[in-house]
Amino acid sequence: MFKPHVTVACVVQAQGQFLVVEETINGKALWNQPAGHLEANETLLQAASRELWEETGIRSGPQSLLRMHQWIAPDNTPFLRFLFAIDLPTPLATEPHDSDIDCCHWLEPEAILNAGNLRSPLVAESVRCYQQGERYPLSVLTAFHWPFTGGA
C-alpha cells in the first residue's frame, strides 16, 4: 500500500516580507517555511498551528489553504504537503521552541526565490503560490466525526 508522508507548511507574510525558518542539515544552513509532519490525533489545521508555534514561537493559525502538493523528494520519499497562508499586520519577533530550528528570518520574496539554500524546491514554489493570489477557505478541510476535538 502506498503511504506518503503527510506534512503541513505555512507561508507567513507581513508587510511584503515572508517568514522562513533556518535549520542546519548536514552542516548546511537551509531555509524552509514553518513546516512539519501531521501527528496522530490532530487535524491538519492543528498541525499547522502547532508547527508554526514550535518553529517560530508565533501563536496563530492558518487563514486559508493555498495548495496541496503531491511531491516525491529527491530521496524518493513521497509527500502530500498541505500549504496554508497566514497574513500578519507586521513582522513579529520569533522564538523557536524546536531545537532543530536555529533561527527565523523575515525576507523579501526575491531573497527566497533566488536563494541557493532552500530545503526543497517547494519553499520557493510556496512563495510563488502565495503571490498568485489563489486562496481556498479552510472549510474545504474538515475532520469528519473527529473524536479528539468534537469535529463535525
Q: Is the pLDDT of residue 151 over 80?
A: no
pLDDT for residue 31: 98
Counting residues of the chain whose pLDDT is more than 70, the rounded percentage is 97
CB burial of 79-90 (b: ≥16 within 10 Å; e: otherwise) equals bebbbbbbebee
Mean pLDDT, the chain, rounded, equals: 94
Instruction: Give the domains, in start order, of the chain with CATH numbers.
Output: 5-140 (3.90.79.10)
Using a cut of 0.85, tell me whether the model's pTM lies above it: yes
pLDDT confidence bin for 107, thresholds 50/70/90: very high
Q: Is the confidence at residue 150, as pLDDT, over 90? A: no
Identify the pLDDT of residue 149.
65
* pLDDT tens-place string over residues 4-49: 999 999 999 999 999 999 999 999 999 999 999 999 989 999 999 9
